[in-house]
């Protein structure tokens, strides 16, 4: 079995979650690797879009931000924010989008906070804010969330609900007026979490090789069902080769 | 007639004017002093590390503008420099960050944490729709974005502050049942109010002396921000004869009539990127963070490195 | 005094009504001549826009329709309908637009019908419909209307109110929620009509050389104030020269 | 997977699908038979005498489509041919006319007068906003257009007809007080409902095999019409390798993913204009009127003159 680091494992775990024919909404960093890798693994007809206006990017070089001019390379069409988010809100195209998001805090229903720690009016810590995350989480039919697995990040209640997950449970989104579905997976540096089809609560789907279900739980403020947990299948040699030789040969995101 | 001659006060803001003249070129000092008074409601173009109107931002800082009300979707360096230099009193924003470099927008964060600026949060698309509503001359646009979240529930400016300030809408946003039943598979929408900035600052690749402007590559929300504003200052890499740009009018997003000042400012987006002219400067952006930590009081030190004004 | 035909007189009468610095919304035909002539007579900094998306057209050749590719020539920007009407609805730019319209029927408040004669559900005659006329009449601060002066066209009540004039009087537009002002002039093949600043009712401002106030009235179903009427100053040699040699040398619109 | 494989019934219309495949070229007969069933809700691009998708329109006529529900802003020849050939049951429109040629859209007029088609009137901007709402996935857009007019008061389709047809919104439009007070100097707006056509037909200058499409010159409301639709058929003057178009993505308005069929149809807009390829044909358009008066039953006679199918 080949050696790999946590980022490689996370990128592969996410890439495996992308279905053929889907539109992948990418943020900066590891989500780009996952989207690019997916096209070479199991989703050759998936396409990549950016909120900044690039539709069906070919991504020759890895962009350092979604505002990076590199996102335009080989796109089918290239405009601006208004068109890009309209495509996600439109039900013909939007329901085919899988959004890849990250956040500072997540709760058991996959609601995300990327705004503040503490009270909104008197924050202890201020983050960058929603960006397009609240839009994507509102519009598209499913999201995949990247997180660092820490107790202060997997919290019982997010300090500020920036991006809607399943809100307060199965009927939460519908009651709020949201049409798409909520998060389908959380991929952390320790595990892959799913969301129960009935309760919409987070559960442990797979733990990374070298850790245990209990170790994952120790890094969370709330508890989740462990009964369905299995050890994640490590990246194959073929997957790692794609990631290392095609997607990020300079290891800009994969790191040293 | 220059638009400046027609300026008059309007609810504390600047009256919208329109200028059909064909010669709008001036220097940056003149453009900023004429069209950006203290307390102006301002929006700046670009996105994170790309095409921020940095030359104009640094000019605002040099002129020690105060009390600005800033509108931004995802702005990085421009927002952080303005906030860090004490120019900004209030900010409506979706995201403050530069991307992989100085992703924290440290001076913005610090200012919010210390309550040196008042902040109100929206999403990127909501901000885009708000500029679009301003550009279209309608009071609001509908969307499903952020229903059920604290973006809807938590306001940055109080109801009292809103009602006493004619330049702010009375509501942050309004949630409404779809009056067309479930048409478009939508039961409910949030209406986000139009933004009408007093001034929008844009940096573009090419502009004509008459104000006609051409953006190459990603346009972000620049076009909506310009059309929503009462006044527009365009800085450009290349100043061209209007006729050259007018020979391919489908490539020009900004018609000259909405522009008040055209400023020739090569490298005017530096240290952010300007597609087909220069990339963002990762060394500068990496240095920004430690330099700020050491010498937080010297925002003007850095820009000299590029365009030396 | 030079000879001239009715179209030349109408074009000149309209051109004189265009102020410097205004944006002229043009339809097809004689309104284009008026807008082009105005730039050479008294409004050098006026500009021409088309609903199809051309902003600040230079019009080297006369377009045969607002959808004609010729409207794009030398424009400052060229896009589509959404941008063009947004510019008119936006209060910064919209309040500088003078719209030139035409219609099948007009009433004393300058309300226009370009939809049907007879009942809407069972029309005796169907016309082309609003096009952009209702939009322009709703948004901009003033309009100039071209009409053929016939009794069945200057009517007590329009069969269908397509484009708002002053609606039912001075407060009509405000009550309906319209922000701009209504029509400022009607230019026909017999006369120039104004609208009273208080009552917003049509009055005879000037009758064409060769006709009389009473003859104008004979071509209308409703009566108007004649007390302010004067004979229209005929086109000057300079105005005709502009029209014939610069604007429409092939007499495509001016006719034989 | 071809989009056709995923077609299934949805409230009597066609379910929206999306196709990320890279090979969508087919002939006109196949495209029209696959994506335009009788009774389809259809929109066609172009404006008066420019870039009407005439080749596709004549194919609809050849295939004797019936019961179409047509959406148009200012459409000329395309609308008149479809209406005159008996393909259309209902039409929502702002203007039917070609410009200085056959400005009366004689067959449309006659059909409305004889009540052979049901018609409902809007303005050009209202129709544009309705397509835009469809493209944006929201139920409506706000405007001040036509407040106080019969466009607001008179409906072409009855309330009963609307409520019994799930493909029509229950209201023609809704007038509403501005929930943001007088923000944007607006006391009242009319909300115009989104249009979601089953199919939009466009004729463009250049298209790629993957559906990427480039319009040169005026875009009218074509882009909004395409993005609003469940299916899109693009006919083009030049069929190109997608890579060629993708080397300048900022010139492409239509991303391939929203397109279902690409048809190579040189002169596909004839007798209307196609910028940079051919002008409208004034002789044809002038002949159209007297020919129709003489031989109203022969719509297929004319198109043969150009593209001879």
* Interval B99-147: pLDDT, tens: 665 556 889 999 999 999 999 999 999 999 999 999 999 999 999 999 9
At residue A224's C-alpha, the angle toward residues A218 and A226, to 5°, is: 90
- Do C and D touch, 3+ Cβ pairs within 8 Å? The answer is yes
pLDDT at C179: 84
Domain boundaries, chain B: 2-14+22-291
Mean pLDDT of C168-189: 94
pLDDT at D102: 56
Q: Which fold has domain B2-14+22-291?
A: Glutaconate Coenzyme A-transferase (3.40.1080)
- A124 close to B (CB below 8 A): yes
Chains B and D form CB pairs within 8 A to the count of 98
pLDDT at A113: 98
pLDDT over 50 at B12, yes or no: no
State the catalytic residue, choosing from A8, A22, A51, A239.
A51
Q: Tokens at residue D135, please?
A: 């493209």
- C129 close to D (CB below 8 A): yes
Q: Tokens at residue B153, please?
A: 């529930």
* HEC-encoded secondary structure of chain B: CCHHHHCCEECCEECCCCCCCCCCECCHHHHHHHHCCCCCEEEECCEECECCCHHHHHHHHHCCCCCEEEECCEECHHHHHHHHCCCEEEEEECEECCCCCCCCCHHHHHHHHCCCCEEEECCHHHHHHHHHHHHHCCCEEEECCCCCCHHHHCCCCCHHHHHHCCCCCCCCCEEEECCCCCHHHCCEEEEEECCCCCEEEEEEEEEECCCCEECCCCCECHHHHHHHCCEEEEEEEEEECHHHHHCCHHHCCECHHHCCEEEECCCCCCCCEECCCECCCHHHHHHHHHHHHHCCCCHHHCCHHHHCC
Number of domains within chain C: 1
pLDDT over 70 at B304, yes or no: no
Collapse the DSSP code of D203 into the 3-class scheme (helix H, G, I; strand E, B; otherwise coil) and give the result: strand
- B208 min Cα distance to partner chain A (Å): 22
- C177 close to D (CB below 8 A): yes
* CB-closest option in A45, A58, A77 to D20: A45
pLDDT over 60 at D65, yes or no: yes
Interface test with C, best of B10, B15, B137 (most C CBs within 10 A): B137
Q: Looking at the DSSP assignment, which residues form a beta bridge with residue A188? A: A147
Residue D150 and residue C115: Cβ atoms within 8 Å? yes
Residue A91 and residue D16: Cβ atoms within 8 Å? yes
- B197 min Cα distance to partner chain C (Å): 12
pLDDT at D293: 57
Dihedral sign computed on CA atoms, order D193, D197, D203, D209: positive
B245 φ/ψ angles, rounded to the nearest 5 degrees:
-70, -35
* Interval D32-51: pLDDT, tens: 999 999 999 999 999 998 99
pLDDT at D28: 98
Q: Tokens at residue D102, please?
A: 């056959």
The DSSP secondary structure of chain C, one letter per residue, reads -----HHHHHHHHHHTTPPTTPEEE--STHHHHHHHHHHHHT-TT-EEE-TTSEES---SS--SSTTSGGGGTT-SEE-BHHHHHHHHHSHHHHTTEEEEEE-SEE-TT--EE-SEEE-SSSEEEE----TTHHHHHHHSSEEEEEE---TTTB-SS-SS--B-SSTTSTTHHHHHT--S--EEEEEESSEEEEE-TTT--EEEEEE-TT--HHHHHHT-SS--B-TT-EEPPPPPHHHHHIIIIII-TT-TTT--
Q: Please report which confidence band the pLDDT of residue D306 belongs to, taking 50, 70 and 90 as the band edges.
A: very low
D residues 133..152 contacting A (CB < 8 A): 134-138
DSSP D1: -
Look up the CATH number of the domain holding residue A41.
3.40.1080.10
Please indicate whether residue B175 or residue C29 has the higher confidence score (pLDDT).
B175
* HEC-encoded secondary structure of D213-239: EECCCCCECHHHHHHHCCEEEEEEEEE
Q: Where are the alpha helices (DSSP H) in chain A?
A: 6-16, 30-41, 81-89, 91-94, 133-139, 172-176, 213-218, 237-241
Q: Please report which confidence band the pLDDT of residue D17 belongs to, taking 50, 70 and 90 as the band edges.
A: low
| Active centre residues of C (catalytic) | 51
Could you tell me which of B151, A12, D221 has the C-alpha nearest to residue C51?
D221
Residue C74 and residue B21: Cβ atoms within 8 Å? no
- C227 close to B (CB below 8 A): no
Please indicate whether residue C137 or residue D291 has the higher confidence score (pLDDT).
C137
Residue D224 and residue C167: Cβ atoms within 8 Å? no
pLDDT at D104: 63
Query: C175 contacts in D (CB within 8 Å)?
Result: 148
pLDDT over 90 at D67, yes or no: yes
pLDDT at D100: 63
Q: Please report which confidence band the pLDDT of residue C28 belongs to, taking 50, 70 and 90 as the band edges.
A: confident
Residue D246 and residue A74: Cβ atoms within 8 Å? yes
pLDDT over 60 at D13, yes or no: no
pTM of the predicted model as reported, rounded to 2 decimal places: 0.95
Residue B247 and residue C89: Cβ atoms within 8 Å? no
> HSE-up of A101 (CA within 13 Å, CB side)?
36
- Rounded CA separation D38/B52 (Å): 52
Collapse the DSSP code of A227 into the 3-class scheme (helix H, G, I; strand E, B; otherwise coil) and give the result: coil
Which structural domain range is residue A28 located in? 6-247
- Rounded CA separation D129/A102 (Å): 34
pLDDT at D292: 62
Mean pLDDT of C134-138: 97
Query: D138 contacts in A (CB within 8 Å)?
Result: 89
Query: B99 contacts in A (CB within 8 Å)?
Result: 28, 64-68
pLDDT over 60 at B4, yes or no: no
* Interval D155-169: pLDDT, tens: 999 999 999 999 999
pLDDT over 60 at D53, yes or no: yes
pLDDT over 50 at D12, yes or no: no
* Percentage of residues in chain B having pLDDT higher than 90: 78
Residue B123 and residue A179: Cβ atoms within 8 Å? no
ipTM for the predicted complex = 0.95
Q: Looking at the DSSP assignment, which residues form a beta bridge with residue C194? A: C185, C203
Residue D250 and residue A79: Cβ atoms within 8 Å? yes
Q: Please report which confidence band the pLDDT of residue D304 belongs to, taking 50, 70 and 90 as the band edges.
A: very low
Mean pLDDT of A206-226: 97
Q: Please report which confidence band the pLDDT of residue A35 belongs to, taking 50, 70 and 90 as the band edges.
A: very high
Residues, chain C, total?
256
Q: Please report which confidence band the pLDDT of residue B289 belongs to, taking 50, 70 and 90 as the band edges.
A: low
Please indicate whether residue B303 or residue D131 has the higher confidence score (pLDDT).
D131
Q: Looking at the DSSP assignment, which residues form a beta bridge with residue D180? A: none
pLDDT at B298: 43
Interface test with A, best of D138, D226, D249, D258 (most A CBs within 10 A): D249
* Percentage of residues in chain A having pLDDT higher than 90: 89
Mean pLDDT of B259-287: 92
* CB-closest option in B181, B189, B194 to D138: B189
* Interval D235-286: pLDDT, tens: 999 999 999 999 999 999 999 999 999 999 999 999 999 999 999 988 888 7
Could you tell me which of B141, B137, B95, B87 has the C-alpha nearest to residue B117?
B87
pLDDT at D30: 98
* Percentage of residues in chain D having pLDDT higher than 90: 78
C253 lies in some domain: no
pLDDT over 50 at C181, yes or no: yes
pLDDT at C101: 96
* CB-closest option in A46, A76, A87 to D210: A76
* Interval D87-127: pLDDT, tens: 999 999 999 987 665 556 889 999 999 999 999 999 999 99
- Do C and A touch, 3+ Cβ pairs within 8 Å? The answer is no
* Interval B73-83: pLDDT, tens: 998 889 999 99
Q: What is the mean pLDDT of chain D?
A: 88
């Amino acid at each position: 079995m080949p050696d790999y680091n946590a980022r490689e494992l996370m990128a592969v775990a996410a890439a495996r979650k992308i279905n053929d024919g889907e539109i992948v909404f990418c943020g900066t960093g590891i989500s780009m690797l996952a989207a690019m890798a997916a096209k070479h693994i199991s989703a050759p007809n998936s396409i990549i879009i950016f909120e900044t206006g690039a539709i069906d990017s070919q991504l020759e070089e890895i962009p350092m931000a979604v505002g990076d001019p590199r996102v335009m390379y080989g796109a089918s069409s290239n405009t601006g924010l208004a068109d890009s988010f309209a495509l996600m809100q439109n039900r013909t195209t939007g329901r085919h989008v899988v959004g890849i998001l990250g956040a500072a805090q997540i709760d058991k229903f996959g609601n995300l906070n990327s705004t503040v720690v503490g009270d909104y009016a008197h924050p202890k810590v201020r983050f960058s804010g929603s960006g397009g995350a609240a839009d994507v989480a509102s519009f598209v039919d499913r999201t995949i969330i990247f997180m660092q697995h820490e107790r202060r990040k997997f919290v019982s209640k997010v300090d500020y609900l920036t991006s809607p997950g399943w809100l307060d449970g199965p009927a939460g989104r519908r009651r709020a007026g949201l049409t798409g579905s909520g998060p389908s997976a959380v991929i952390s540096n320790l595990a892959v979490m799913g969301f129960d089809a009935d309760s919409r609560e987070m559960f442990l789907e797979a733990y990374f090789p070298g850790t245990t279900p209990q170790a994952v739980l120790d890094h969370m403020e709330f508890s989740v069902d462990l009964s369905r947990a299995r050890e994640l299948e490590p990246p194959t040699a073929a997957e790692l080769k794609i990631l290392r030789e095609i997607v990020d040969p300079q290891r800009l995101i994969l790191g040293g | 007639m220059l638009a400046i001659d027609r300026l008059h006060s309007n609810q504390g803001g600047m009256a919208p004017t329109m200028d059909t003249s064909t010669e709008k070129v001036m220097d940056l000092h003149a453009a900023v002093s004429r069209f950006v008074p203290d307390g102006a409601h301002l929006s700046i173009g670009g996105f994170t590390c790309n095409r921020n109107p940095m030359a104009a931002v640094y000019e605002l800082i040099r002129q020690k503008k105060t009390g600005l009300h800033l509108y931004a979707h995802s702005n990085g360096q421009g927002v952080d420099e303005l906030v860090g230099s004490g120019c900004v009193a209030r900010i409506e924003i979706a995201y403050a960050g530069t991307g992989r470099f100085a992703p924290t927008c440290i001076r913005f964060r610090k200012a919010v944490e210390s309550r040196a600026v008042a902040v109100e949060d929206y999403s990127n698309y909501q901000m885009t729709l708000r500029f679009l509503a301003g550009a279209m001359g309608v009071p609001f646009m509908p969307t499903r974005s952020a229903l059920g979240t604290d973006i809807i529930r938590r306001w940055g400016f109080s109801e009292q502050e809103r009602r006493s300030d004619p330049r702010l809408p009375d509501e942050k946003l309004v949630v409404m049942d779809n009056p067309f039943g479930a048409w478009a598979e939508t039961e409910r929408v949030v209406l986000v109010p139009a933004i009408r900035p007093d001034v929008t600052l844009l940096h573009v690749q090419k502009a004509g002396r008459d104000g006609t402007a051409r953006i190459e590559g990603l346009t972000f929300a620049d076009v909506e921000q310009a059309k929503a504003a009462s006044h527009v200052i365009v800085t450009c890499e290349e100043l061209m004869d209007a006729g050259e740009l007018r020979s391919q009018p489908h490539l020009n997003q900004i018609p000259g009539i909405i522009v008040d000042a055209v400023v020739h400012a090569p490298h005017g987006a530096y240290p952010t990127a300007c597609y087909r002219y220069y990339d963002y400067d990762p060394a500068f952006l990496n240095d920004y963070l430690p330099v700020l930590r050491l010498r937080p009081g010297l925002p003007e030190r850095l820009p000299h490195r590029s365009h030396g004004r």
